[in-house]
């Protein structure tokens, strides 16, 4: 039986602690209920949104006149070196379970908040690892055809922070399988603890945020060759890297002095130019104003159109 809650406050679910009052909210405990649920949704003619860990999104309106759907955790199963996990299970839980069984490969993603489904959809990554690296296959529900299907990794069209599931919103991730290899448990835990400590040591980690706001930038987008040469050279000097294929948006925002910029109760972190923090009572309007300011100033300075990594709901 599908339980539907009306006028549901999503604020507690949001890592930004900025939410909306959703017309309908459903926590789906059984993927088999998807066809029945979407019959109701189509009949209502209202929009819908699949909520993962709400760690990289911003609810942009006080009231969301639509459906918010969240998958309940289903647990993790292992057969030999194959791990099967539901879309609603936390990514951190999967990584910890793999490490307990002496399996690595995704351990560098520890500390990334959110669910497995959300991480796959946006091809989450950190420290040179992406969740797609170990992925075998993804089961999904096609809202348009009202059928379940399975994609192998190559069919998911993974790219930097995107996949077929970001471009084809009718495909809803339900389950995933990962293949891993055995590693030394002590070494895995040592590296995981080091990464977690690094994340916790950042001053902005004390505040509510939605992680990175913008995607990395390709310097080739800068049409002015001299501007491009200078920017790349400066970034090489700062990082010690020789071959520069992309530059963090936060580096650009720092160069134009936007670190620490505050609108209302929202502020671009003084330590990380690509993080906007909620100082306590930030509104969606505060955050969107900062995002718009960053986009305008980077475009004016280098001619680059920043691409959002954060998902905005209700715009």
Residue-range domain boundaries for the chain: 4-71, 76-188, 203-313
Chain mean position to CA 183: 27
CB 54 within 8 A of CB 310: no
Q: What is the pLDDT at residue 242?
A: 86
Chain mean position to CA 229: 31
Q: What is the pLDDT at residue 278?
A: 96
Write the CATH number of the domain with boundaries 203-313: 3.90.78.10
Residues 6+ apart with CB under 8 A from 197: none
Q: Are strands 135-142 and 171-179 parallel, antiparallel or unpaired?
A: antiparallel
Per-state percent for the chain, helix, strand, coil, to nearest 5: 35, 30, 35
Q: What is the pLDDT at residue 1?
A: 76
4-71 and 203-313 have identical folds: no
Q: What is the pLDDT at residue 86?
A: 96
CB 277 within 8 A of CB 266: yes
Q: How many CA atoms lie within 13 A of 297 on its CB side?
A: 17
Does 3.30.70.20 match the CATH number of domain 76-188? no
Q: What is the pLDDT at residue 203?
A: 77
Q: What is the pLDDT at residue 138?
A: 98
Q: What is the pLDDT at residue 65?
A: 94
Residues 6+ apart with CB under 8 A from 186: none
Q: What sign has the CA pseudo-torsion 196, 97, 51, 138?
A: positive
Write the CATH number of the domain with boundaries 4-71: 3.30.43.10
| First and final C-alpha spacing in the chain | 32
Per-residue pLDDT of the chain (315 residues; tens, 9 = 90+): 789 999 999 999 999 999 999 999 999 999 999 999 999 999 999 999 999 888 889 999 999 999 999 999 999 999 999 999 999 999 999 999 999 999 999 999 998 888 999 999 999 988 889 999 999 999 999 999 999 999 999 999 999 889 999 999 999 999 999 999 999 999 999 999 999 998 888 878 889 999 899 999 999 999 999 999 999 999 999 999 888 889 999 999 999 999 999 999 999 999 999 999 999 999 999 999 999 999 999 999 999 999 999 989 987
Among candidate residues 129, 124, 123, 91, the one with its CA nearest the CA of residue 108: 129
Reading the block at residue 5, the tokens are 């809650």
Instruction: For residues 93 and 230, give the distance between their C-alpha atoms in angstroms, rounded to a whole number.
Output: 43
CB 13 within 8 A of CB 27: no
Among candidate residues 287, 283, 92, 310, the one with its CA nearest the CA of residue 211: 310
Among candidate residues 263, 262, 265, the one with its CA nearest the CA of residue 281: 265
Give the DSSP H or E segment for 259.
none
Per the document, the length of the chain is 315
Give the DSSP H or E segment for 70.
strand 63-71
The set of catalytic residues is 161, 212, 309
């Amino acid at each position: 039986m599908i339980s539907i809650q009306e006028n549901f406050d999503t604020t507690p679910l949001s890592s930004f602690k900025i939410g909306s009052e959703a017309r309908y909210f459903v926590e789906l405990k059984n993927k088999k209920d998807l066809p029945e649920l979407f019959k109701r949704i189509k009949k209502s003619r209202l929009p819908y949104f699949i909520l993962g860990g709400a760690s990289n999104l911003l609810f942009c309106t006080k009231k969301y006149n639509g459906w918010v759907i969240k998958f309940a955790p289903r647990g993790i199963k292992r057969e030999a070196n194959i791990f099967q996990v539901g879309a609603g299970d936390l990514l951190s839980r999967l990584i910890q379970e793999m490490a307990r069984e002496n399996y690595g490969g995704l351990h560098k993603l520890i500390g990334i908040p959110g669910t497995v489904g959300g991480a796959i959809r946006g091809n989450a990554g950190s420290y040179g690892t992406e969740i797609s690296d170990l992925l075998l296959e993804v089961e999904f529900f096609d809202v348009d055809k009202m059928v379940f299907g399975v994609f192998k990794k190559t069919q998911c069209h993974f790219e930097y922070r995107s996949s077929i599931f970001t471009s084809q919103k009718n495909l809803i991730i339900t389950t995933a399988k990962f293949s891993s290899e055995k590693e030394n448990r002590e070494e895995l835990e040592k590296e995981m603890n080091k990464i977690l400590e690094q994340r916790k040591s950042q001053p902005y980690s004390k505040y509510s945020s939605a992680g990175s706001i913008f995607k990395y930038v390709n310097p080739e987008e800068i049409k002015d060759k001299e501007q491009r040469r200078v920017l790349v050279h400066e970034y090489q000097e700062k990082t010690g890297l020789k071959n520069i294929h992309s530059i963090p948006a936060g580096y650009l925002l720092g160069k134009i002095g936007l670190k620490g910029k505050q609108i209302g109760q929202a502020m671009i972190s003084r330590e990380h130019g690509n993080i906007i923090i909620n100082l306590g009572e930030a509104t969606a309007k505060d955050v969107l104003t900062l995002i718009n300011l960053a986009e305008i100033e980077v475009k004016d300075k280098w001619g680059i159109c920043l691409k959002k990594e954060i998902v905005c709901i209700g715009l």
